[in-house]
Amino acid sequence: MGITLFFSHAMARILSTACLASVLLPLVVAADPTPGPAGKAAQPAPASTAAPATPSPAAQPAASAPEAIAAAPAPASSTAAAAPKITYSQCHVDGQYIAMTFDDGPHAQNTPRLLDMLKQRGIKATFFLVGECAAEYPQIVKRIVAEGHELGNHSWSHPQLSKMTDASVKDQLQKTHDAIVNACGVVPKLMRPPYGAFTARQQRWANGEFGYKIILWDVDPLDWKVRNSEHVESEILKHAVPGSIILSHDIHKTTVDAMPATLDALAAKGFKFVTVSELIAMDKPASKTKPAAKPEDAPAPASAPTKTEAPVAKPSEPAKAATPTAAVSK
């Protein structure tokens, strides 16, 4: 029981992911300062250079105008500024730390298989759970936690939250939050919006309402689209850099099949695996990891944003904020 239900959900998600992705990705960039992860539909902007960095909510006290972002990716990650950082697509860390993240589960077969692989290697990962699935497989949720992994909220039914009212979004997040707590007793601290589609205002709202950090990604192997293990592995290996948050989906067999080789190759390159919260705890302002950032004239370079964004709001764009710091309770 529940299997067909699960499959239909899974299929719906898969299909909708495939169909919506091309529609949504641009939307994310335009409507929402969420940076790079979704930015490039086909190719995750070269993880190393794209500084998909942190979106605005954190970067700028004044919710940077979405359009401003679309035009210039740079204002983003300047974490140094005043407002607390609440959204992450990668971190700036000392050391080769990365966070593997797995979305859309738990899945009856693939998630336990993945958990075995992680356990064998002593690797901790982060799972962004879909509430419907968490409610259906509470024992897997429990196992995820028992084995030291982190959990996050990925909505109840995987809709495009950026198009929904606060009340509907709250329903999606609350039900999932409750399903997770009921299954394992752990209160999630993170959320990842399906498709990365979440406006800057919603990010602040969810942070204020649930205390969630909003987690995006900087490495996307497009494993939901290209069901090929070698592809998943090579994309991840090609783009992972220290501080990366790597996106993949444990509902896909090909993704899980790719993991042993991927994890071993990452480890061989010197990468160390931590949960997202652990990675965030190591995060530091880009300006400290890079040589002098030039506050004055670090105006979003039109073409090649570097990781050293100006810790200052783009002067030219007086980010007109709807509700500046308001909802950002932390």
Supply the residues annotated as catalytic.
103, 249
| 150 binds Ni ion, rule: CB under 5 A | no
Which residue number, 52 or 194, has a Cβ lying nearer to Ni ion? 194
**Six-digit token pair at 308?**
């050293």
Q: Which of 75, 300, 3, 57 is nearest to 193 (CA)?
A: 57
Task: Taking the CA atoms of 106, 107, 113 and 117 in sequence, report the sign of the dihedral they define.
Answer: negative
CA distance 79 to 282: 13
| 194 binds Ni ion, rule: CB under 5 A | yes
Beta 87-88 vs 213-215: how paired, if at all?
parallel
Backbone angles phi, psi at 186, to 5 degrees: -100, 135
Q: How many residues bind Ni ion (CB under 5 A)?
A: 3
**Six-digit token pair at 198?**
């979440």
CB of 273 to Ni ion, least distance (A): 21
Backbone angles phi, psi at 152, to 5 degrees: -140, 165
CB of 182 to Ni ion, least distance (A): 21
| 136 binds Ni ion, rule: CB under 5 A | no
Contact string (CB under 5 A) for Ni ion, positions 227-266, x = contact = ----------------------------------------
Which residue number, 223 or 309, has a Cβ lying nearer to Ni ion? 223
CB of 13 to Ni ion, least distance (A): 7
Q: Partners of 150 in the beta sheet?
A: 126
Residues 92-111 contacting Ni ion, CB under 5 A: 103-104
CB of 300 to Ni ion, least distance (A): 29
Q: Would you tell me which residues interact with Ni ion (CB under 5 A)?
A: 103-104, 194
